[in-house]
Amino acid sequence: MEPVQSGRAMMNGAVVNGYHGGCALQEESDEKQPQPHRGDKAACRPKKKKQQQQQQQRQPPEPEPERHRAGCSDGRRTPVTKDPAPSTSRRLQQRRETVKKNRPPFPWFGMDIGGTLVKLVYFEPKDITTEEEQEEVENLRSIRKYLTSNVAYGSTGIRDVHLELKDLTICGRKGNLHFIRFPTQNMPAFIQMGKAKHFSSLHTTLCATGGGAYKFEPDLRTIVNLQLRKLDELDCLIHGTMYIDSIGFNGRAECYYFEHPTDPERCQKKTCALDNPYPLLLVNIGSGVSILAVYSKDNYKRVTGTSLGGGTFLGLCCLLTSCSTFEEALEMASRGESTKVDKLVRDIYGGDYDRFGLPGWAVASSFGNMMSKEKREAVNKEDLARATLVTITNNIGSIARMCALNEKINRVVFVGNFLRINTLAMKLLAYALDYWSKGQLKGLFMEHEGYFGAVGALLELVNSV
Amino acid sequence: MAADRTKAVGAVRTSRSARDGLDKSITLPPDEIFRNLENAKSFAIDIGGSLTKLAYYSTVQHKVAKVRSFDHYGKVPDDEPLYEISVQEEITARLHFVKFENAYIETCLDFIKAHLVNTETKVIKATGGGAHKFKNLIEKKLGLKVDKEDEMTCLIKGCNFVLRNIPHEAFVYVKHAEPEFRFQTTHPDIFPYLLVNIGSGVSIVRVESEDQFERIGGSSIGGGTFWGLGALLTKTKRFDELLQLASKGQHTNVDMLVRDIYGGAYESFGLTGDLIASSFGKSATTDKGFVPEDWRIANVVPLFKKRSGDNPEFTKEDMAKSLLHMISNDIGQLACLYAKLHNLSRVYFGGFFIRGHPVTMHTITYSINYFTKGEVQALFLRHEGYLGAIGAFLKGAEEDNPNQYSWGENYAGSSGLMNSSPDVHPLQRTRSGTFDMLEMDRLERQLVNLPLLLDASSYVPDTVDLTEDAMAREYWLSCFEDALDGVVKRAVASQPQSLDAAERAEKFRQKYRHKLQTLRHQPFAYGSLTVRSLLDTREHCLNEFNFPDPYSKVKQRENDIALKHFQKVVQALESLSMEERQFALVKGLLAGNVFDWGAKAVSDVLETNSAFGFEEAKKRLQARPWLVDAYNDWLERLKGPPHKCALFFVDNSGIDIILGVFPFVRELLSKGTEVILASNSGPALNDVTCSELAIVTERIAAMDSVIRKALEEDKLLLVQSGSSSPCLDLSRLDKGLATVVWERKTDLVIIEGMGRAIHTNYYAALRCESLKLAVIKNAWLAERLGGRIFSVVFKYEMPPK
């Protein structure tokens, strides 16, 4: 599963308290009970104070060195850092900077616990000094190495390597941003692991968003004894989206669209930059769908939402085809023929319904052919999967289009994990938006589809201190 | 012919039994289906996915009572009646709509062919998805050319027609409320509105005017999606059965709710925990995977291995429910988005997905309330199933311009809204609705609002809605049932020469009793149940069996007697002082109003005591202060400047009109006030009709110079109200009346009698002064109003500033 490995690494975390990931206060790590924020009391938030107290109470942690080592075997192969060892003066300078900026201690995670998937982003610092390297607690080091050296964690946890953002500077630190996901159903296991491996000793705050941040909060607090900062998912979504768009995708644009969306021959993906991004309509398609009108980073409203989302697609596909994964469902959909399942305008009118400008190929009734027994017997699973995908996608397109018209916004940005490896859906959305608006509306997509909430949570962590 | 009909229906029964092996004989008497087919002139047919709706226009020949003045040249021979009554045949136009299952189409076509006698029609207008499929069959069976009409155009035309002509057509559905149906008074201004037609797909249409409409959008997720996807998921094939499954399911087992994700509500955006976050979100059978080695800590048992295919945690009922919610919410949401974009607040829903199904009406209503925060109400239509057929018919009848007339629902010939509660087994429900009918009578004149209504859009004629008031409903239903014997007796007596009067009267009794029974169980069948609708239904049923005017002779006799006393009464009044006279006039009006054959307490007296007269009636009246007593205000007003013109809605024949109303009118005329006397166009109980009133007035004019002069100078006008009801709907009045009222700058409206001023219009707000007066001749009603029988209501109102 997922962050499993991170968990494994964290087991050692007992000692973590002393480590502040390059923060100026690291020298104090000798003290058994560091006061990381005392240099900047004014900036302290009450929450943090509480956190410190709790940490103090928790000391001393129980180290479990043996297990760590085993767990970290892969990690050892990872180069520690590209940076040369910094000179003393540089270290001092760094320290001063850190004091000024007051960075949070490593590890830096952002978590988005959705209805179906948990999305985790992890910032891997690459500018770790030798000194830092030496001081980095075993536990933390193993997290880093475990996460960054694996692409799969358990059977369902996955690191989307192709999305990794390299040589990023966040909060004055250089590093890579990793994108990891695992099913929300595994949260209870994650929590058990967190407890067993003493996440609490990591001395960090977990910035989490998504519904699960609320749902699992009591467990995370009481079972794992972890400090949790719950963040609003839509705030995070917007911050994350705008941030990733601004830094780009390893030198390329994060955002793209489909040129000639209504011409399958010529339809192709084109990158673009979201200059002057506002206003935009942000359509987040996760298990369900939220639609936001965004006027600036901090000024937005949730226009509406629909319960017909990715969860509906997968849920219905599972029931109709007995498939069990999103990938499987999409794969079947790619081979199916939805027109056997849906009743088209031409099935009713023999061609276009000119009176109302409805083309013959338009779907008149989704699953409409399935009212007939004969036709039910004539379709296969692939057709059903395809029809489910088309139905859900077109419906989202339709609602998004209406919202765009009502809000007088002509750019619609689609994000969310429903679009992951789902070019079919993206092209359908692009097509529907273009066709029904007669070219007035444009559908835009983002490479990091479903991770913006988690990114937003991470940003909250690093900006909060 | 009766034999043929029986045969045809027998055939229907056979075909049905053969089809599903169940005995489902048609419950309606055979002579009630396809009525008046002999005279059918033009046809239209709307063939849907499962139901066929046939429309035809026919002329109905029925008896009407006519009165004709004898030529007396002003001299009244003592032994001759006042005027001559004759019963004549009259031909009126009627629209018939019959709805039946497609399975019966062939049998029905045969039946029609066999009974179609003198039609000159060559074409039949057809619409609906099935029109194409059955084209050949129809052409072969009927020998008529099938002329296809656009479905949406027909739908809109039909919708406009019912909204304009049927007062309680639209309703709001409120689940668990008593009643579940809240009928809306149709506003004269029906445009613009949004029609959301949920067939297999969804069409969203903005209707701007009679001929202007635009399909502004739609969705492919509609009734077909519910049916098709539902059939795949639950292996249940019939639409009705799917709905029934849905009504029993628990969607929270299948849907992922906000609380499943958040553990509670998502408060920052006001999303409650119960909200569906992802439809079918819990039904994913995703491979839960195995817990990674390193998570498997000694004492932690793997948490997931929740369910496999054989052990579902939800039932097919749950899936059907979830699907229903998903589709209803989606449609509701889109409807709201379109309503908002086009700034429309009236949204009507129709199509087979809705069609009287409480389950879908509820989920759509819920969705609309949720998405508009209650700003838009989901409206449904009583005759939703007929819209296409009505529209197709209207297309075919365009040369006759049916829209220039007003039409009225005939309660005797219409089935009314069925109770389609989900508790009724779907098969049973289909069966009871095997043949459903709607009949609309063409009214010879156009009906419009009284221009003096303060706010036509909020005007509700009826004082008490019996659909809401269960106690009153119980009372009035029983009251009408108790009075039935008397009505039957009166009907028979009114046609002494007729051989079959007794037989017809018995049929009337059965029909009306059946209606009353239906209304007891389905008070919403014809819109809001009111005393007015009960009275009107009785009149329609009487007409149905050719008892056009059971009180004609009674009215004649009473007019006759009263006329003989007119001069004496006037003389007595003239001898009084001004103030005494005003009071005597009002008292005369009230005493006259006692003579109401519609009130059982009075008819009992009148039946037994032929000497009961004007003076006796005065003695029965409540002494002042009356139950509602604004007499002093009225008197004060009379001391001021005279009114420009008074509109007087009159009530009963005989003493009421002649000794009560005329002296009062005479006084108004003498003071320079013009008077418009509005009487019923057609007979109802012993109410004076406009033709009777014309004769009565002529006779009074012969005796009285004030009346004669006023007639000559056009200061006293007789107009027909457009109604044939003992009650009064000020939003459906003869256009001629409305014009005169407007032209004469009417500044006083007088409404007389229980039917017009108590059961209806008691709360009607007008833009001018008004007098509403009546004697409460019903002990129960009097008690309810806080008085006793023969209590007086004298309500004088000034318009709001």
CATH label of the domain that carries residue A208: 3.30.420.510
Query: What's the burial of A31, exposed, middle or buried (CB within 10 Å: 0-12/13-18/19+)?
Result: exposed
Q: Specify the pLDDT at position B419.
A: 56
Same domain, A301 and A424: yes
B555 has a pLDDT exceeding 70 = yes
| Cα–Cα nearest to A8, from A55, A60, A70 | A70
- Say whether both A216 and A359 belong to one domain: no
Backbone φ and ψ for B349, nearest 5 degrees, come out as: -115, 140
Q: Distance (Å, rounded) from C-alpha A454 to C-alpha A459?
A: 9
CA distance to partner chain A, nearest, from residue B157 (Å): 16
Host H or E run for residue A174: strand A173-183
Rounded to whole angstroms, what are the CA distances from B16 to B102, B252, B427, B433, B442?
A: 11, 39, 12, 14, 35
Dist. CA B662–CA B721, nearest whole Å: 18
ipTM (interface pTM): 0.80
Do A366 and A416 fall into the same domain? no
CA distance A410 to A425: 20
Nearest CA distance, B436 vs chain A (angstrom)? 25
The distance of A37 to chain B (nearest Cα, Å) reads: 30
One domain for residues A170 and A237:
yes
The predicted pLDDT at position A94 comes to 54
Same domain membership, residue A399 and residue A350: no
Segment B48-92, tens digit of pLDDT: 877 889 898 888 877 777 887 766 555 555 566 778 888 788 888
Of A175, A235, A225, A230, residue with least CA distance to A199: A225
Q: Do B258 and A308 touch (CB under 8 A)?
A: no
User: Are A182 and A282 in the same domain?
Assistant: no
Closest CA to B214 of B389, B344, B113, B56: B344
Q: What is the mean pLDDT of chain B?
A: 85
Determine contact, residues B505/B499, Cβ cutoff 8 Å. Answer: no
Give pLDDT, residue B271: 85
**Is A323 inside a domain boundary?**
yes
- Domain range for A162 is 101-245+454-463
- In the residue annotation, A138 being an active-site residue is answered as no
Predicted confidence band of residue B434 (pLDDT cuts 50, 70, 90): low
Residues A265 and A389 grouped into a single domain: yes
Residue B94: which residues within 8 A CB-CB, separation 6 or more?
A: B36, B57, B58, B59, B60, B410, B413, B439, B440, B441, B442
Report how far residue B156's alpha carbon sits from residue B606's, in angstroms, rounded to the nearest whole number.
52
Q: How far apart are CA B118 and CA B38, in angstroms?
A: 7
Inter-chain Cβ pairs, chain A and chain B, closer than 8 A: 264
Question: Does some domain include residue A405?
Answer: yes
Whole-Å CA distances, B126 to A346, B123, B264, B387, B396:
20, 9, 54, 13, 9
**Tens-digit pLDDT profile for residues A252-266:** 999 999 999 888 899
CB contact under 8 A, A288 and B129: no
Q: Is the pTM of this model over 0.90?
A: no
**A192: pLDDT confidence band, cut at 50, 70 and 90?**
confident
Nearest Cβ partner for A311 among B203, B278, B289: B278
Tally of domains within chain A:
3
Of A87-101, A406-420, B286-300, the poorest mean pLDDT is in B286-300
Cα-to-chain-centroid distance, residue A262: 30
Do A307 and B255 count as a contact with CB atoms less than 8 A apart?
yes
pLDDT at B293 exceeding the cut of 70: no
Considering only alpha carbons, which residue of chain B is nearest residue A1? B292
Across the range A123-150, mean pLDDT stands at 82
- A32 assigned to some structural domain: no
Determine, yes or no, domain membership for A79.
no
Q: Write out chain A residues lying below 8 Å of B261, CB-based.
A: 114-115, 210-212, 215, 287
The pLDDT of residue B744: 97
pLDDT confidence band for B3 (50 / 70 / 90):
very low
Question: Where does the pLDDT of residue B294 fall: very low under 50, low under 70, confident under 90, or very high at 90 and above?
Answer: very low
Residue of A147, A307, A340 to mutate, testing the B interface (most B Cβ within 10 Å of its Cβ): A307
Cβ count near A67 (within 10 Å): 15
Q: Which of A81, A88, A87, A101 is nearest to A23 (CA)?
A: A101
> What is the model's pLDDT at position A444?
96
Contact A315 B279 (CB under 8 A): yes
- Verify that A426 and A326 share a domain, yes or no: yes
Q: Are A254 and A245 in contact (CB under 8 A)?
A: yes
Average pLDDT over residues B599-621: 81
Tell me the C-alpha distance between B561 and B654, whole Å: 7
Most confident region among B135-144, B287-296, B584-593 by mean pLDDT = B584-593
Considering the domain architecture, whether residues A215 and A314 belong to the same structural domain is answered as no
In a domain, A82, yes or no: no
- Are the C-beta atoms of residues A114 and A211 closer than 8 Å to each other? yes
Same domain, yes or no, for A320 and A385?
A: yes
Contacts of B197 (CB under 8 A, 6+ apart): B152, B155, B203, B204, B205, B349, B350, B351
Q: Considering A2, A135, A136, A233, which one is annotated as catalytic?
A: A233
Answer yes or no: is A273 within a domain.
yes
What is the per-residue pLDDT across B753-765, written as a single tens digit (0 to 9) for each? 999 999 999 999 9
Q: Are residues A364 and A416 in the same domain?
A: no
- Same-domain pairing of A213 and A271: no
pLDDT score of B227 = 95
Mean pLDDT, rounded, for B672-700: 95
Whether residue A191 is contained in a domain is answered as: yes
Q: What percent of chain B has pLDDT over 70?
A: 88
The answer to whether A308 contacts B326, with C-beta atoms less than 8 Å apart, is: yes
Q: What is the pLDDT of residues A264-308, one digit of tens each?
A: 899 999 999 888 889 999 999 999 999 999 999 889 999 999 999
Give yes or no for residue A7 having a pLDDT over 90: no
Instruction: Kindly report which listed range (A31-40, A320-329, B495-504, B624-633) carries the lowest average pLDDT score.
Output: A31-40
For chain B, percent of residues with pLDDT exceeding 90: 58
pLDDT digits (tens, 9 = 90+) for A357-389: 889 999 999 999 999 999 999 999 999 999 999
Residue B539 CB neighbours (<10 A): 21
Would residue B672 be called left, alpha or beta, if left means φ above 0 and alpha means ψ between -120 and 50 degrees? left
Greater model confidence, B352 or A454: A454
| Integer Cα distance of A390 and A342 in angstroms | 9
Query: To the nearest whole angstrom, how far is the Cα of B272 from the nearest Cα of chain A?
Result: 12
Residue B21 predicted with pLDDT over 50: no
Q: Each residue of B121-171: pLDDT tens digit?
A: 788 999 987 888 888 988 988 888 999 998 899 999 999 999 989 888 999
Assess if residue A306 is contained within a domain.
yes
* CATH classification of the domain holding A266: 3.30.420.40
Nearest chain A Cα to B302, which residue?
A189
Residue-by-residue DSSP string for A365-381: ETTGGGGSHHHHHT--H
